Amino acid sequence: AGYAALLFRKGAAVTRLYSIAVDPEERGKGVADALLAAAGRRAAERGAGRLRLEVRPSNRAAQRLYERAGFAVIDRKAGYYGDGEDAIRMERRLSPARPGGRGAHP
């Protein structure tokens, strides 16, 4: 129904949500919310304290989704996308993962 791709850097406090997508037929069913929650848990399990992403200013639906999930705007990157559109950078603080929690890895 969808996917979320994360970029991790060993020892980094920030994990980047590189891409997220939901099948158009599945939109409005909570899939994106579930993917964002799972991405946050996975990033916390890997030791990240924050989850960061970029989104197009023209993509208001995605911005609203991220805001509902606790993301806040931290800056804007001029000409970020290949077509010259800027990017809005958003970030969310993560709760620390519980040791031995579901999906935790040594």
Residue numbers annotated as active site: 54, 66
Q: What are φ and ψ of residue 103, in 5° steps? A: 80, 5
Give the residue among 62, 53, 54, 58 at the shortest CA–CA distance from 80.
54
Contact 62, 55 (CB under 8 A): yes
